[in-house]
Amino acid sequence: MLFDRDIFIARVKEQAKWDVIIIGGGATGLGTAVDAASRGYKTLLLEQSDFAKGTSSRSTKLVHGGVRYLAQGDVALVYEALHERGLLLKNAPHLVKDQEFIIPCYSWFSKIKYLIGLKLYDLLAGKSGFKSSSLLSADKVLGAIPGLKRRALRGGISYSDGQFDDARLALNLAQTASEYGGVLLNYMKVTGLTKKNGGVDGVDVVDMESGEAYQLQAEVIVNATGVFVDDILKMDTPASRPIVRPSQGAHIVLDQSFLQGDSALMIPKTSDGRVLFAAPWHGKVLVGTTDTPLDEHSLEPRPLENEIEFILETAGNYLVRKPTRADVLSAFAGLRPLAAPQKDTNSTKEISRSHKLIISQSGLITITGGKWTTYRKMAMDVVDQAIALGKLKKEKCITADVKIHGYTPEMQTGPLALYGADAAGIQDLMKAEPELRIPVHPEYNYVKAEVVWMVRNEMARNVEDVISRRMRLLFLDARAALKVAPAVAVIMANELGRDGQWIEAQISSFTDLVKQYLLLGNDDEIRHYSMKINLTET
């Protein structure tokens, strides 16, 4: 089935009632859409912004069991996550890869301690396609991570975990759900819940593009909105207590010269007890994350100054080149939807990392907590719960064996690798229209054909959708992202039938967004960059 917003809008107007309506287009909501649609249920997903706009595009890009959870004694959580890690590698090898991580050790005791822990990690993982952990000499550690300081290094431990592109997987999940007959719409905001005899039976929705309002009915309504779950719960019961406590994770992106090599660095215990990763990702180095309790949520969280300083200082303690604010290519933050504690706390270490299912008196099903790695298990639990409540006819879950859209037997290489099987379609576009081979930025491999593909086949609706979540350039190099905005806007306008006023508005709003990803002392730099951009460059 075509992944086309206009076609999906037409389906919404035709369908009298759905089996399942899912609110939220992040990892959990999209996973639930795949599960429900693949069981044969009439499935509709509604997302107020773009797919994975929030937390699900802002992770540390790990598909992992959670080494630190093992250290905390949560063996069951780690075992479940490692099982799901293996399934993701099997079903989306075009996006998930086996990444080597190295823990540098500065005493013989730490070498033994981490080796024993990671051998248990290997044992829990079983035969899942990932390499086993091993002991490394100091020379081998430095050979794998040339950018690491040698002083006092006694060796290290090598272990494997998964790495992926989170926003790309989210998009591929949406496409997978549509292939099973699901309807998925971005920029559709749920504004209220409808009820019959006290039970929730539908949603009020507004199309954020056209302004058109809809009232849609379903047997099952699922609240999978991440850090926004309490907003939906208040639509159901205005006096309901919050069930989520947001925790912010911030990241910075550096040039690959800071780390060098293909291995990732894992610092198991920082000055305040956190874990910090520095990993190669799309030709850059991704460094993070933090764990900061917050009392509010937003679609565009910003890294706090103390988070940036913590990451820079900690990385500088281990890397030969101490990174500074001037070296940061992009900085971003995401909010984790952690299950709220019963008592007030300022430490997210006391808040549950496992997912939580809640059934309201109205029958609204809410899913929260968890992490990217376990999205499939969370989705299965949601649909199984709906069946247990008698709202859906019993059908077996098949997602353990469902190949995710774009599937190829193994991860590809080259500039179109992340598209997997879809790369052939982009290559065909370039053959048919040679002018689409032109790069949109002289230092990056993105070409005009990709923008056309994203509009026609990936439901990209604006410049941010393309540059941020489909290209990922905003997360990799914010200044470069700003420079490609005019070219992207012009291509999208031609595809979507927009005018010059739309182009100007898109460039302006994207310029404002980029400010949040640059570490600026004042606004002079952003003005300098934006003044250099004009439509003649396109």
The structure's pTM equals 0.94
Taking only the tens place, the pLDDT of each residue in 66-106 is 888 887 788 988 999 999 999 999 999 999 999 999 999 99
- The average pLDDT across 449-458 equals 98
How many angstroms separate the CA atoms of 62 and 327, rounded? 23
Binned at pLDDT 50, 70 and 90, residue 411 comes out as confident
The CA angle 259-308-100, to the nearest 5 degrees, is: 30
Q: How far is CA 265 from CA 156, 249, 278, 284, 504, in A?
A: 10, 18, 5, 13, 42
Task: Look up residue 498 and give its DSSP letter.
Answer: -
Alpha carbon 127 to its chain centroid, in Å, reads: 26
Share of the chain above pLDDT 70, in %: 93
User: Could you write out the DSSP letters of every residue in 188-204?
Assistant: EEEEEEEEETTEEEEEE
Domain boundaries, the chain: 5-55+167-243+348-401, 60-162+247-336, 417-537
pLDDT at residue 437, rounded to an integer: 97
How many angstroms separate the CA atoms of 133 and 140, rounded? 14
From 49, 51, 159, select the one nearest 103 (Cα to Cα): 159
278 vs 409, which has greater pLDDT? 278
Give residue 388's identity as a one-letter amino acid code.
A
How many angstroms separate the CA atoms of 499 and 493, rounded? 6
Taking only the tens place, the pLDDT of each residue in 273-284 is 778 999 999 999
Contact 105, 157 (CB under 8 A): yes
Taking only the tens place, the pLDDT of each residue in 199-240 is 999 999 999 999 999 999 999 999 999 999 999 999 999 998
pLDDT at residue 398, rounded to an integer: 98
Taking only the tens place, the pLDDT of each residue in 306-330 is 999 999 999 999 999 999 999 999 9
pLDDT at residue 412, rounded to an integer: 82
- CATH number for 60-162+247-336: choose from 3.30.9.10, 2.60.40.10, 1.10.8.60, 3.40.50.450: 3.30.9.10
- The whole-chain average pLDDT of the chain stands at 92
142 vs 70, which has greater pLDDT? 142
pLDDT at residue 469, rounded to an integer: 98
Contact 77, 66 (CB under 8 A): yes
CATH code for the part of the protein at 5-55+167-243+348-401:
3.50.50.60
pLDDT at residue 526, rounded to an integer: 57
- The average pLDDT across 254-258 equals 97
